[in-house]
Amino acid sequence: MFTGIIEEIGIVREFSKLSNGAVIEIECNIVLDGTKIGDSISVNGVCETVTEITPNSFKAKLSEETLNITVFGELKIGSKVNLERALLVNLRFGGHIVSGHVDCVGKLISVEKLTDFYNLEFEIPNSQAKYVIYKGSITVNGISLTISSIKENVFKAAIIPHTYENTNLNTIKIGDYVNIETDILGKYVEKLLSANDNKRDISIEFLKENGFV
């Protein structure tokens, strides 16, 4: 489990395609502290298991499924990736609940630089738009962001300079693709509402009482 608060930007040093996936090596420093083989690290929002550690890098094996549903297939040597270690229960929870299981790929369609922040606009598949709500949370390349507006399958997020400058958002261009994870709470609500046994019990009052709306 992660929070979407990026700890550092890593650099891809190896990306080797295999018959059933790929091996990636990422140069980094901060996220290596306390990390051991078998631990999880979020790489651009994808939960990956550390298989090898060196003094200044770690390796992970990417499954074929990961390559198919994320933008990892476009990574190359020198690419910058957002990194976050798995959440420790004794630390402050700064972002929102992030599983590291990417739902879809989105596309950056506009960037607006304002005085105090940036407005970034992303297009996502229509099937995922139902999980995106105004002032709700979403994860873009592993970054916990708040949705400032949503229209059909396009959402906008306001990015403060610190986030823009300390993640790989400042390296992507209009037309580039990003990993998207929608808020997990919306998926649980949908599951509850779709269960035949629960249809009679779930109401707007129930959702309010339990903090969903």
Q: What is the pLDDT of residue 145?
A: 96
- Cite the beta strand spans of the chain per DSSP E: 8-18, 21-27, 40-43, 46-54, 57-63, 80-85, 104-113, 118-123, 137-140, 143-151, 154-159, 177-182
Q: What pLDDT digit, counting tens, does each position of 66-107 carry? A: 999 999 989 999 999 999 999 887 767 778 889 999 999 999
Q: What is the pLDDT at residue 45?
A: 97
Instruction: Spell out the CATH class of 8-85.
Output: mainly beta
Task: Indicate the domain borders of the chain.
Answer: 8-85, 104-188
Using CA atoms, how far apart are residues 113 and 50, in angstroms rounded to an integer? 37
Sign of CA dihedral 100, 70, 61, 43: negative
Share the mean pLDDT of the chain. Answer: 91
How many residues are there in the chain?
Answer: 213
CATH of segment(s) 104-188: 2.40.30.20
What is the per-residue pLDDT across 119-158, written as a single tens digit (0 to 9) for each?
999 999 999 999 999 999 999 999 999 999 999 999 999 9
Q: Phi first, then psi: what are they for 211, rounded to 5°?
A: 80, 15
**Using CA atoms, how far apart are residues 141 and 64, in angstroms rounded to an integer?**
19
Q: Has residue 211 got a pLDDT over 80?
A: no
Q: Rounded distance, CA 159 to CA 123, Å?
A: 16
Gap between the terminal Cα atoms of the chain: 23
**pLDDT at residue 27, as a whole number:** 98
Task: Report which of 132, 47, 144 is spatially closest to residue 95, judged by C-alpha positions.
Answer: 144
Q: For tokens 């020198």, name the residue.
A: 78
Percent of the chain with pLDDT over 70: 92
Amino acid 103: pLDDT: 95
Measured distance CA(147)–CA(135) in Å, rounded? 5
pTM given for the model: 0.87
> Counting Cβ atoms within 10 Å, is residue 91 exposed (0-12), middle (13-18) or buried (19+)?
exposed
Asked if pLDDT for residue 174 goes beyond 90, the answer is yes
Q: Three-class SS of residue 98?
A: strand
